[in-house]
Amino acid sequence: MPSNTIVERVAADLVRYPPFEQLDQELLQDLASSVSVTYHQEGETIFRKGDQLRECAFMVMKGAVRLFENIDEREVLVDLCDEGDIFGVRAIFARQDYVLTAQVAEETLLYEIPVDKITMLLQQSPGAALFFAREFARSVEEIEHSLTEAMEGAGRDLHGLSCHSFLENETLEVRQVSNVATCSPDISIQDAAGIMAERNIGSIIVVSGEGHPLGIITDTDLRKKVVAVPGSVKEQPVSEIMSSPVYTITGGRTIADMVMLMVKTKLRHFCVTEDGSVDSPVTGIISEHDIITSEGNNPAVIMKAVMQADHRDELREQRDKAESLLRLYISQDVAVHFISSIITEINDALITRAIEFAFADLDERHDGQRPETPFCWLSLGSEGRREQLLRTDQDNAILYEDPPPDREDAVHAYYLELGSIVTGILQHCGFVRCPADMMASNPQWCRPVSVWKGYFRKWVSAPEPKAVMNSTIFFDFRPVYGASWLASELKQDIFAAIDRSRGFLQFFAKNALQNPPPLGFFRNFLVEKSRDHANEFDIKARAMMPLSDAARVLAYELNVVEYLSTVERFKKLSLLIPGMKDLCHEAAFAYEFLMKLRAVNGLETSSSGRYIKPESLDKLERQMLRNVFSTIEKVQKALNLRFQLDYIRT
């Protein structure tokens, strides 16, 4: 029998990294006892392309290993693995030879894990199976389909989970539970559990004689500390297992406060006391559940408040609330497409209300005279694609029906005034002005439909790279208020223009390939194909734009008339282009992941979330990102092939 001490040591190393962190103790020990430890110096080759597969996969415990391919006698770096990375997983799934060469980049300690152990693990731990499948999927096409499906399944579960939040009510303060269950520290654990069961509650506060909180016992404590422990623990006093001290607060907290506190402390129960300290009597308790189901966190309430707002200050207040809602949803792992659709609804309602305010102002100024020509408010860019989570720059435009020749100037002046008022309100609500001035307050972007058609026809018929690049956000326009048929008319005209000059799509596609994705991460650096390492990661330019650009090109190529998000576009495209079905699903998943990562980063750093510090990512996020990068690369290759871009010079 192997040495327990050594096995436990190895297990403690393995458990630090995915997928082993989720294994139960028995599987982990068994796995650890099968490990071989090897040591390698810089420059040593672990295996070569074409070598027969080994009977093990490798985990880097210390050091770094480069994986590369030789193409035309040139080394093409495919991956750099550092501590906790696994490579050589091909041996688990494939029966042929290695397709890459693994070479030690710096002094390395490897754990070799036998393939038969991993195979056994795959059957016993679905989490580990998904992990290894993902790792493998990065190089092999066949199983990607099933993989994408598995991930979508996970997404659906999250969606179901989020529905808890829809409750009807109108207050914005977290309502504390005031008839708190308490007990003294010397009652037995069994008795405390009895009280909790009887009252059907998830926690009980342990209090002193004066009613001051000493500790708390929750379901989790009972599960982990009592049930899991053999012997007669149940007879012991509750003070043995209670969590102490309790986090105490004063009453009357808003949901935003509580969400912040929950995110910051990672606690799930907060004890309300008279003066907020542990040295005063308990008056209530607020649990995670109370916060999540709090009435004010209901998007419907925010929507209603927006629609009934009397002043721009109220709009701003509601939009801030939407952000705390976003924070909550993100911390609860709610599906991104669900969050973005809620935020978009709220933003749209806010724009609508802002336009109504503007009309009221204008009515006063113009004695209630409004132009007879109908207009349509357009959101552009990410807002046009319904993808905005955090508030970013505003991009918008006004489109109106061609007025009679003698009214042209008057109508233009009126709608320009409208545009100025509305963009001003939006700015007041936290939407920064577009630095490139692509806004409805700019005379150039507040125009009748004939002029708009002219703009697009020019972009389409005589494309020059710079103009195409600057105009992409316009191609994502979406009607938010007013005569949406004007927007449809414009879209049809664009399709017709594109039909007349196929060359445009190639330019459009070429533009989508400007930013190749990086390879992945190495410690705190981004590994690039061309350069070596870079320090910060621009998630928007390097990962999101390549995907949203690609989806836009294909949507316009295939005359998709609906106003869709990037994710929806990919889903639609998967039906329209059978050959790209799996890739489109994968891209949709990748984009959702990126949106979420950006939002999390933005909330953590109080920024737009665009620039990510690689060191802030955990191992799993890095692995996910690496997969996303390879998806982007495949999408770009597909685009390249579809539009035969290798033959074009710009």
Nearer to other proteins, 63 or 520 (CB): 63
> Strand, helix or coil at 320?
helix
Binding piece for other proteins, criterion CB under 8 A, among 32-40, 186-194, 317-325, 434-442: 32-40
For position 39 contacting other proteins by CB under 8 A, the verdict is: yes
Cβ neighbours of 137 (radius 10 Å) = 23
Nearer to other proteins, 33 or 184 (CB): 33
Q: How far is the CB of 119 from other proteins (least distance, A)?
A: 17
Interface with other proteins (CB under 8 A), residue from 4, 119, 220, 470: 4
Binding mask 271-310 for other proteins (x = CB under 8 A): ----------------------------------------
Q: How far is the CB of 470 from other proteins (least distance, A)?
A: 53
Binding piece for other proteins, criterion CB under 8 A, among 104-112, 135-143, 164-172, 431-439: 104-112
CB contact at 8 A, 134 and 18: no
Q: How far is the CB of 618 from other proteins (least distance, A)?
A: 21
Interface with other proteins (CB under 8 A), residue from 23, 27, 28, 32: 32
Residue 607: HSE in the Cβ half-sphere, 13 Å Cα cutoff: 12
CB contact at 8 A, 394 and 423: yes
Q: How far is CA 283 from CA 256, 262, 280, 454, 506, in A?
A: 21, 19, 9, 67, 67
Binding piece for other proteins, criterion CB under 8 A, among 105-113, 256-264, 292-300, 537-545: 105-113
SS (H, E, C) 489-534: HHHHHHHHHHHHCCHHHHHHHHHHCCCCCCCEEECCEEECCCCCEE
Nearer to other proteins, 107 or 363 (CB): 107
Nearer to other proteins, 44 or 288 (CB): 44
Q: How far is the CB of 88 from other proteins (least distance, A)?
A: 15
Which residues does 449 contact at the CB level (< 8 Å), separation at least 6? 399, 400, 401, 402, 486, 489, 490
Interface with other proteins (CB under 8 A), residue from 79, 85, 112, 323: 112
The span from the CA of 637 to the CA of 563, in Å, is 26
Q: How far is the CB of 108 from other proteins (least distance, A)?
A: 11
Nearer to other proteins, 5 or 200 (CB): 5
Interface with other proteins (CB under 8 A), residue from 3, 25, 96, 200: 3
10 Å CB burial of residue 272 (0-12, 13-18, 19+) is: buried
Q: Report 5-24 residues binding other proteins (CB under 8 A).
A: 5-7, 9-10, 12
Cis amide linkage into residue 245, ω under 30° from 0: yes
Single-letter residue type at 228: A
Q: How far is the CB of 57 from other proteins (least distance, A)?
A: 15
Q: How far is the CB of 11 from other proteins (least distance, A)?
A: 10
The span from the CA of 253 to the CA of 172, in Å, is 9
Quote the crossing angle between the two packed helices 299-307 and 312-331, to the nearest 10°. Answer: 170
Binding piece for other proteins, criterion CB under 8 A, among 36-44, 138-146, 324-332, 617-625: 36-44
Interface with other proteins (CB under 8 A), residue from 27, 35, 78, 183: 35
The span from the CA of 11 to the CA of 548, in Å, is 42
Binding piece for other proteins, criterion CB under 8 A, among 1-9, 201-209, 343-351, 606-614: 1-9
For position 36 contacting other proteins by CB under 8 A, the verdict is: yes
Q: Report 40-79 residues binding other proteins (CB under 8 A).
A: 41, 62
Nearer to other proteins, 82 or 493 (CB): 82
Q: How far is the CB of 83 from other proteins (least distance, A)?
A: 11
Q: CA geometry: angle at 437 spanning 434 and 439, to 5°?
A: 80
Q: How far is the CB of 226 from other proteins (least distance, A)?
A: 25
Nearer to other proteins, 104 or 339 (CB): 104
The span from the CA of 153 to the CA of 151, in Å, is 5
Site for other proteins (CB under 8 A): how many residues? 22
CB contact at 8 A, 422 and 351: yes
Q: How far is the CB of 104 from other proteins (least distance, A)?
A: 12
Interface with other proteins (CB under 8 A), residue from 15, 77, 99, 109: 109
Nearer to other proteins, 107 or 618 (CB): 107
Q: How far is the CB of 36 from other proteins (least distance, A)?
A: 5
Question: DSSP code of 473?
Answer: G
Nearer to other proteins, 120 or 195 (CB): 120
Q: How far is CA 375 from CA 34, 356, 395, in A?
A: 71, 13, 17
* DSSP states along 39-56: EE-TT-EEE-TTPBPPSE
* DSSP states along 589-649: HHHHHHHHHHHHHHHHHTS-S-EE-GGGS-HHHHHHHHHHHHHHHHHHHHHHHHTTGGG--
Single-letter residue type at 154: A
CB contact at 8 A, 547 and 366: no
Q: How far is the CB of 3 from other proteins (least distance, A)?
A: 3
Nearer to other proteins, 94 or 109 (CB): 109
Nearer to other proteins, 35 or 282 (CB): 35
Q: How far is the CB of 10 from other proteins (least distance, A)?
A: 6
Nearer to other proteins, 109 or 181 (CB): 109
Q: How far is the CB of 174 from other proteins (least distance, A)?
A: 45
The span from the CA of 559 to the CA of 497, in Å, is 11
Q: CA geometry: angle at 451 spanning 447 and 452, to 5°?
A: 80
Which residues does 517 contact at the CB level (< 8 Å), separation at least 6? 542, 543, 546, 628, 629, 630, 632, 633, 636
DSSP element (H, E) containing 148: helix 144-162
Q: How far is CA 229 from CA 21, 221, 224, 233, 241, in A?
A: 22, 11, 8, 7, 11
Q: How far is the CB of 85 from other proteins (least distance, A)?
A: 17
Residues that bind other proteins (CB under 8 A): 2-7, 9-10, 12, 32-39, 41, 62, 107, 109, 112
